[in-house]
Amino acid sequence: MLTFLNQTILFALAGIGIPVLIHFFARRKNSRIIFSSLFFLKAIQNQSIRQLRIRQWILLLLRCLIVMMFVLAFARPVWRKPLSFYPGRDRSAIALVVDRSLSMNRNGLYDSGVRQGLEVAATAEGNDAGLIWIPEDSSRAVKLTHQTDRIQEILKKTSASWMSGSAHESIERAITLLKQSEQINQEIYLISDMQYSSFQRLNLDTAGSGALWQGKIFVWPVTGKPKSQNLGIVDGGISQLIVQPHIPVQIDGHIRNYGDRQTNVLVRAFWDGKAVEQKVVSIEAGETKHVFFKVIPGKGGWQSGSIRIEEDGFNQDNQWFFSCWIPEKVRVLILTGERNEQKPIQLILEQNSGEGAFFEIRHRVFGDQWIDLLDTDVLFILNFPFFQTLEMERIDQFLNDGGGVFIAPGEKTDINSMNEFPGLSGKLAFGPAIGGEAGDSGYMLIGRTDFEHPLFQGVFREGKEKIKSPKFFRYYKVTGHSDPILTLENGDYLTGAISVGKGNLLVMSSGMEMPFSDMVYSGFFGPFVFRSVMYLGMSRIYENESFQVGRTLQLKTPAQSIKSGYYLLTPENHAITLYPRLNREEAVFTLSQPKSPGIYRLYQNDRLQAMAAVNVDPAESDFSAISEKELRKQYPEAKVQFVRGTESLKALVASSRLGRELTYLFLVAAFILLAAEMLIEHTGKNEADKKGG
């Protein structure tokens, strides 16, 4: 079967019409000559006239064939079946994609994949074929080479990675590299366990050349032992936002049973490298079980831990790492309208400091100098009259940089000025005061409470959520806030949180003391103040995000403390020098591809600055394979064939690489026809000259 590699050139076949047009429009015109006698015309033979006409038609045919041969030659014709008069086959370009993803670690699958890859590499015979090795991760591919022994050596030295696989991305890379070659036979060999998640990310609407490629993809599945009874940890860590030394912290773990039967598994929690608690849980087939543990941190600062399950058929997903920052001290600045108004709050914080002075408290009264907030984590504002423009600007910057602010109005508060407070404009507005004096019989209690908010998360046992409410005699009607944390009995706003930049703002519509409420005398006051300060103090702490192996890892530190001498210590204790990218609030350190799971620690001259947990992709724990039918749907234009073994590979290679490119033959034919045309044209002119003479 004849095909063309450069089919666009075939449009130039329309040029065959050029010799035809020249033939008809460039014919000599007969001129009329008056003779006295017709005697001389009898010497012209009819046979000569016929020969001239035949020669002209032959020349026209030759010229058309010459144009056609040149066009077909530039279109790169290929004959896909053996030719007895032109034996052999053209050179091939082979892209070898060997799956190195995490799931290939089980049951010796990767060793089998390497053996299969070596067999494919062996089919690249000398200069007959070029080979590209494309590992199924983002590591650099080996360029097209005829030194197949080099690629075979590389394959033997490789091992399966901790990274997740993406088969379609590897195929895209293979197609891009193959297009740079000139070989007519372009083949992709995919050696993989065919894990469904590796193909799941392909979207035909946004896919690149892979979904539309019309080449050949040979799929050689790696087979091992029957399906493992695998359990894997899919998520874990500390979910609560408010943590403190010497206060219990909950560690959460989520374990999934990927097998086909119920299993009992031992789950253990580790903190700072030591086992703190263990449980045996029963998990049904296909079920994800939530397990939690309690730990009491003995100190503040950066802490790390992990959740582990006992060994099974696939141990790479049996551990989940996490890290968190526990504040060693929270610096609180209390602003009040009058002196001694800070004492109830100060007393509560001092009582909850635990061992040591956990809260560092400062107090300023209206009129005092307090503009410097560099040594402040939480700003507590009670019954404060109003703020100057410069003070507003400083609070706005404090919030955007990650600080926390609590506002409770009082008798001295100018509500109109309060509506200009940073973060409130367009989100929340104080209206008229509602209610009477403390001695009046009317008062309101707390109505709805959002127990899922960090202020109350973990405080109450499930199903036992109940608050003994203080009495609220007066409050300001607040509008604009759609999701308060606390409401009054009539549904009016009492307390809510607003995010401002990287910080948080807690706003109350009522005061904490008379004549607004008896809150300072209630059992609700102490826990509420403590939890509010801890919640706002955690605003400056960077998110305890879990990163994935092979994905970009970022660690952040405050920009004010940036110095030189930073390095990252990997779980294998390898030190990597890092340089920060600076902005106004923070310094960002980036590692493009963490190679293994575990805890990564950022140091500055041996002083710990930040910590991050890196885990494997939970999708690698599901060994479900894509079917042949589904795979062909993902690559509808390609010729997808499955290799069933060594003999199947040899047969496919033999049939795939048959055929020759015929460009050279077509060029030779074009020049032969051109020489024949010139010879006939020249002979005709000589005969005409002789007769004319």
Report the distance separating Cα 19 and Cα 329, nearest Å. Answer: 93
Paired strand residues for 330: 359
**How many residues comprise the chain?**
693
Element of type H or E holding 634: helix 628-634
What does the pLDDT average to over 625-642? 87
| Res 573: pLDDT | 94
| Res 435: pLDDT | 86
Residue with tokens 């040029």: 15
- 3-state SS class at 269: strand
Report the distance separating Cα 506 and Cα 543, nearest Å. Answer: 19
| Res 439: pLDDT | 47
- Grade residue 395 by pLDDT with cuts at 50, 70 and 90: very high
What does the pLDDT average to over 454-481? 84
Higher pLDDT, 252 or 169: 252
Report the distance separating Cα 204 and Cα 636, nearest Å. Answer: 10
Sort 280 into a burial class: Cβ within 10 Å, 0-12 / 13-18 / 19+: exposed
Higher pLDDT, 41 or 450: 450
Are the C-beta atoms of 409 and 510 separated by less than 8 Å? Answer: yes
Sequence-ordered list of residues with C-beta below 8 angstroms from that of 36, at least 6 positions apart, any chain: none
State yes or no: pLDDT of 402 exceeds 50: yes
Distances (CA, A) of 384 to 337, 421, 457: 4, 12, 30
Instruction: Report the predicted TM-score, pTM, of the whole model to 2 decimal places.
Output: 0.75
End-to-end CA distance of the chain: 54
pLDDT (tens digit, 9 = 90+) per residue, 20-64?
Answer: 787 777 655 555 655 555 555 545 555 566 666 787 788 888 888
Report the distance separating Cα 435 and Cα 443, nearest Å. Answer: 8
Share of the chain above pLDDT 90, in %: 35
Beta strands in 523-630 (DSSP E): 546-548, 553-558, 566-569, 575-577, 581-582, 586-591, 598-604, 607-615
Q: Which of the residue ranges 196-205, 318-327, 662-671 has the most confident prediction, judged by mean pLDDT? A: 318-327
453 is written with which tokens? 């908010």
State yes or no: pLDDT of 600 exceeds 60: yes
Are the C-beta atoms of 447 and 490 separated by less than 8 Å? Answer: yes
Distances (CA, A) of 528 to 23, 117, 520: 102, 64, 10
292 is written with which tokens? 């939690």
- 3-state SS class at 32: coil
State yes or no: pLDDT of 474 exceeds 50: yes
What does the pLDDT average to over 289-311? 92
Query: Which range, of 142-146, 463-467, 547-551, averages the lowest pLDDT?
Result: 142-146
| Res 46: pLDDT | 54
| Res 207: pLDDT | 47
State yes or no: pLDDT of 692 exceeds 80: no
What does the pLDDT average to over 304-331? 91
Paired strand residues for 660: 79
State yes or no: pLDDT of 213 exceeds 70: yes
Higher pLDDT, 523 or 370: 523
Across the chain, mean pLDDT equals 83
State yes or no: pLDDT of 355 exceeds 60: no
Q: Which of the residue ranges 133-137, 221-225, 409-413, 539-543 has the most confident prediction, judged by mean pLDDT? A: 409-413
Paired strand residues for 320: 307
What does the pLDDT average to over 582-608? 88
Q: Whose CA is closest to 221, among 579, 643, 541, 637?
A: 643
State yes or no: pLDDT of 317 exceeds 70: yes
State yes or no: pLDDT of 440 exceeds 60: no
Report the distance separating Cα 115 and Cα 121, nearest Å. Answer: 10
| Res 225: pLDDT | 60
User: 222-233 burial, b if ≥16 CB within 10 A, otherwise e?
Assistant: bebeeeeebbbb
| Res 637: pLDDT | 82
Residue with tokens 């610096």: 331
Query: Which range, of 212-221, 423-432, 681-690, averages the lowest pLDDT?
Result: 681-690
Residue type, 29: K
Beta strands in 60-127 (DSSP E): 77-79, 92-98
Domains of the chain: 2-84+665-692 (no CATH), 92-227+623-658 (3.40.50.410), 231-327+617-621 (2.60.40.10), 330-540 (3.40.50.880), 546-611 (2.60.40)
State yes or no: pLDDT of 7 exceeds 80: no
State yes or no: pLDDT of 586 exceeds 80: no
Q: Whose CA is closest to 413, among 301, 504, 499, 513?
A: 513
